[in-house]
Amino acid sequence: MTVTVVRIGNIEVGEFPLLLAPMEDVSDPPFRAVCKEKGADLMYTEFISAEGLIRDADKSVQKLDIYDYERPIGIQIFGDKIESMREAASIAEEANPEIIDINYGCPVKKVACKGAGAGILLDLPKMQKMTEEIVKRVDKPVTVKTRLGWDDQTIKIDEVAKRLQDVGIQALTIHGRTRKQMYKGTADWSYIAEVKNLPDIHIPIFGNGDIDSPEKALEYKNKYGVDGIMIGRAAIGYPWIFDEIKYFMKTGEYLPAPSLSERVDITKRHLEFSISWKGEKLGIFEMRRHYTNYFRGIPNFKPFRMRLVENDNPDDVRLVLDEILQVFGQMEMV
């Protein structure tokens, strides 16, 4: 039996790759580290402002940090000015990722209403030109993440895919919602399948939106025929989802849910990565957004969460994590 490996340019990403979505204030190196450990095949950085990179803004530049254990990895950029995006792509390439990704999907008002992110879906010629200029500027494979359209009346994702492929992108990820939907409602993957089935589309097409279980991942793989799946919110606090999907696709069976001991262990590892990357003070602060998700389902957990988020000393945080294991260790995780 011939095994077909998905390639983005010359980068092999597996038979049916599972991608970690770029999520602002989430997909930083510490979070990516634990997702990689738990089976993510390809990951993207948080989206990075083109203008911020050009101005050498600290927050934007720090987002370029990537590590060998993350590879292959893509750096994602966004902006509304073609020249700025060209320059930003060159700066991103210097960080030596495997892939340069363009964000044409962010629905947030401060981005989209300025013509960046999903806002460019209202100007397809500009989208095509901007993409073409970035492809010409860099040597790395260029990929794009986008949405179905601005709203239900402007869904032209077939045309978008053809235009972007024509100017040289090497893969396309489609979130099955419009900009108007934001993250509400249900992602419509039928449009994604239409793109995948276009006879003149030959680049990998990845689907994104609402994948939150192994059975749904397998169902969507079979039903919509995509080359891989990008996972976002379902991985927050639950990086095990990547390995669980792979195991289910291979065997039809479920991996056991992570024990409380495993949850505490991955939380500690995430914390250590965070401190190592941003220093003790900021590393502890930025870790606070993750505790609720890692321990979701534990009744009467609020007092422990409060102690975790109010503590500034890493040793004290570790002690609280150990205490959580002692107090709740015999409880079956939900």
Question: Which residues carry out catalysis?
Answer: 106
Phi and psi angles of residue 297, each rounded to the nearest 5 degrees, phi first = 100, -10
Helix 314-328 vs helix 280-287: angle between axes, to the nearest 10 degrees?
30
Distance CA 269, CA 328 (A): 20
Cα end-to-end span (Å), the chain: 39
The tally of CA atoms less than 13 A away on the side-chain side of residue 266 is: 24
Nearest to 175 by CA among 201, 159, 155: 155
Q: Are the beta carbons of 93 and 160 closer than 8 angstroms?
A: no
Q: Are the beta carbons of 53 and 95 closer than 8 angstroms?
A: no
Q: What is the largest CA-CA distance in the chain?
A: 59
Neighbours of 307 (CB within 10 A): 17
Q: Are the beta carbons of 205 and 235 closer than 8 angstroms?
A: no
CA distances, 141 to each of 13, 214, 261, 298 (Å): 13, 29, 40, 43
Burial of 82 (0-12, 13-18, 19+ CB in 10 A): middle
Token reading at 270? 């995430």
Distance CA 52, CA 43 (A): 22
Distance CA 73, CA 96 (A): 9
